[in-house]
Structure 1
Amino acid sequence: MKDLGVLKYFLGIEVARSSEGIFLSQRKYALDVLSESGMLGCKPIDTPMEQNHRLALVDDAPLSDPDRYRRLVGRLVYLSVTRPELSYAVHTLAQFLSAPMVPHWEAALRVLRYLKGSPGQGILLRSRNDLCLSAYCDSDWAACPTTRRSLSGYLVFLGCSLVSWKTKKQPTVSRSSAEAEYRSMAVTTCELKWLKSLLSSLGVLHSRPMRLFCDSQSALHIAKNPVFHDRTKHIEVDCHFVRDELLAHNLSTCYVPTGHQLADILTKALGRSQFSFLLRKLGIRDLHAPT
């Protein structure tokens, strides 16, 4: 074994330390992706995906070199390790790996144009932290136009530092937006419980209830009020463990206005102003940006 000193670079992830905390980015990896794709000289853009896109419904010419598309999306998947704002775009592009078309390739190139504007962007793990877990969850009801399955997304914070995030299509079709939001709450509760257990194994005890923020009043009422359970029998029983966690005081649910729902960035393509606003709220920084 060798002591290689303080960690600075590992598997494409760059680590920078200061009194404020630890900053993680993949600047060199992002520049390598741009160079390989011939996009180093492209014009930057502010958002990774066009708002109100219809990529799932396009009927165009198939891509002449699908392997190039698959390789690019695969590299973007790894880039999302430190770039949570890419999760929705990568999730969308990965659905067309089997038969990509020209518009899908153009959408992937748009992500590269976004990377060109901020290759050094990453997440800051702050040194001053109360080590309390909280999460934001959201869903986009019937987001998939072909299967009508909803999209779930969550962000988990340890104190004020973002430590976990995910965008995933729900396994079944939800009959209402409230049901879709409730399923998203259930998935996020699972992640919170796992992280709480992980912290416990590291000697960090979490005695206070974990806060779960949701922008659906209906889903919050379903979780808190047992009367609503009679009206939601078509939801699988395992989803109702959210209420069990509330009764055990392991979890506390909170309402957050839709405009301040941080998980929106994981479930839909946003406009420039809202996208930039949520990036700042997530604590995502770019150490290489001009001041």
Structure 2
Amino acid sequence: MKKPPRYTKGSLTQVCKLLKSLYGLKQASQQWNSKLTSSLLGFGFIQSKSDYSLFTKHDGDTFIALLIYVDDFLVASNSTAAIASLKTFLNSKFKIKDLGTLHYFLGLEIARSTKGIHLCQRKYAFDILADSGMLGCKPLKLPIDQHFKISKSEGTPLLDPSIFRRLIGRLLYLTITQPDIFFVVQLLSQFMDQPSSSHLAVAYRILRYIKSAPAQGLLLSSTSQLQLQAYCDSDWASCPDSRRSTTRYCVFLGQSLISWKTKKQSVVSRSSAEAEYRSMAATCSELTWLRFILQDLGISHPQAATLFCDNQAALHIAANPIFHERTKHIELDCHLIRDKIQDGSIITAHVSSQSQLADTFSKPLPSYLLQAHLSKMGIVNYYSPFCGGVLNDKG
């Protein structure tokens, strides 16, 4: 801290009283981002327009990518010299701490082998179980019963809803590497304003399911092909309170699951075909965004992405603009799927309901079907010796 110019008051030793730290000021985060961004741009980085936290730099055959979360950085490059140069530059501008090869980042545990990269949140899962007093609970095979239904009117209101809200918030972060609990956590998050005892009981059931495999996570295969493909589906009028449908999709790059989402649609769909069509439009937007990310990373994806849907009527509406009478009430932005099909960036295909992987994110499944879907999505138990866990591969 420096005194203002010409600020003198005799020759006595002066002490400044700090009323509020700069780190806590409202402008602090904006100033930090502005300083960091200008420094990286001056060093030759290009800020991605698709994800403003991603910076990339190409220099001949050398490529380096920098991903930022507030003041935590992830660096990836095909040149160790480029990484060393970047660390030297950052250290000259800011005081940095080099943590070496990536193993733990914001609660994510990362392991590498010849099979690929495995992501899990084992420590974070155990912390949730310990804080909830569920470390000694009996494990369950399913996060939710197959024929389970829940609404706002069930159960008695909680006297202290903060317990439920805090637990759901932590479970939402756990879904980064455990998409198998994404549907039920998303469902419970809709009752944050007035949670009841029934909602809390379902949340504790999720913890019992997590107890069965706390190290379960994503395996990003090293042998995946460079091909985007997505599965989309919807659960028509599934919400008992609003009768709105639920959109769900999952996107793969080769064999690796890289994106998934479950979200209640903003309007009430008049038919299951309309609900499926809206789901296709949302998935199309996600595929378009992922293409931009790949382009920023210097990865070419000229071939069409494949979009799988199990509803023949929705596939016909997407491919045939003649169905005016059945679609004139649908917003124009939903028809972007037609443009993408015509320009060849997306092709649609039918998939049977039994092979619809997006069902994992939208409704309760029987145990055998859930395990089959998780296996196809590359979700494995990090420490299990029976499912091909990464730790078994000594390479």
Could you tell me how far apart the structure 2 residues matched to 1:68 and 1:172 are? 31
Residue 269 of structure 1, CA deviation = 1.3
Partner of 2:377: 282
SS at 1:90 equivalent = helix
Please report the TM-score for the alignment, with normalisation by the length of structure 2. Answer: 0.72
Give the structure with higher Rg (CA).
Answer: 2
1-side partners of 2:380 and 2:256: how far apart?
A: 12
Q: 91-100 vs 249-258, which deviates more?
A: 91-100
Task: Report which stretch shifted further, 65-74 or 51-60.
Answer: 51-60
What amino acid is aligned across from residue 222 of structure 1 in structure 2?
I
Q: Which amino acid aligns with 1:151?
A: T
Matched position secondary structure for 2:384: coil
Give the TM-score normalised by the residue count of structure 1: 0.98
Letter in 1 for 2:194: A
Which one of 100, 120, 124 corresponds to residue 5 of structure 1? 100
Alignment of 1:183-198 (within 5 A): 183-198=278-293
CA drift at 1:98: 1.0
1:57 deviates by: 5.1
Residues in 1 aligned to 2:257 and 2:371: alpha-carbon distance in whole angstroms: 17
What runs of 5+ residues in structure 2 fail to find an aligned partner? 1-95, 387-395
Q: Which has the higher helix share?
A: 1
Task: Give 1:95's match in structure 2, choosing from 174, 190, 193.
Answer: 190
Gaps of 5+ in 1: none
1:64 Cα shift?
2.5
Q: After the TM superposition, which segments of 4 or more aligned residues of structure 1 sit over 4 Å from their partners?
A: none
User: Partners in 2 of 1:200 and 1:60 — Cα distance?
Assistant: 50
Matched-pair contact (CA < 8 Å) for 2:248–2:279:
yes
Counterpart of 1:242?
337
Moved more, 129-138 or 31-40: 129-138
Check the 8 A contact 2:237/2:246 in 1, yes or no: yes
Query: Following superposition of structure 1 onto structure 2, how do residues 1-291 of structure 1 map, counting pairs within 5 Å?
Result: 1-56=96-151, 58-291=153-386
How far apart in 1 are the matches of 2:287 and 2:152? 35
How far has the Cα of 1:33 moved from its partner?
0.2
The 3-state SS of whatever aligns with 1:56 is: coil
Asked if the contact 2:309–2:350 (Cα under 8 Å) also holds between the matched residues in 1, the reply is yes
2:120–2:217 CA contact under 8 A, matched in 1 = yes
Q: Over aligned residue pairs, what C-alpha RMSD do you find? A: 1.1
With a CA cutoff of 8 Å and minimum separation of 6, indicate the structure with the bigger relative contact order: 1
User: How far off its partner does 1:54 sit?
Assistant: 2.3
* Number of residue-to-residue matches in the alignment: 291
Q: Does the aligned pair in 2 maintain the 1:46–1:117 contact within 8 Å?
A: yes
* Cα pair 2:152 2:191 within 8 Å, conserved: no
Distance (Å, rounded) in 2 between the aligned partners of 1:29 and 1:116: 12
Q: Does the 8 A contact of 1:135 with 1:156 survive in 2?
A: yes
1:185-206 Cα distance to aligned partner (Å, 9 max, x none): 0000000000001101111111
Residues 57 and 145 in structure 1, CA contact (< 8 A), matched pair in contact too: no
Cα distance in 2, alignment partners of residues 134 and 75 from structure 1? 30
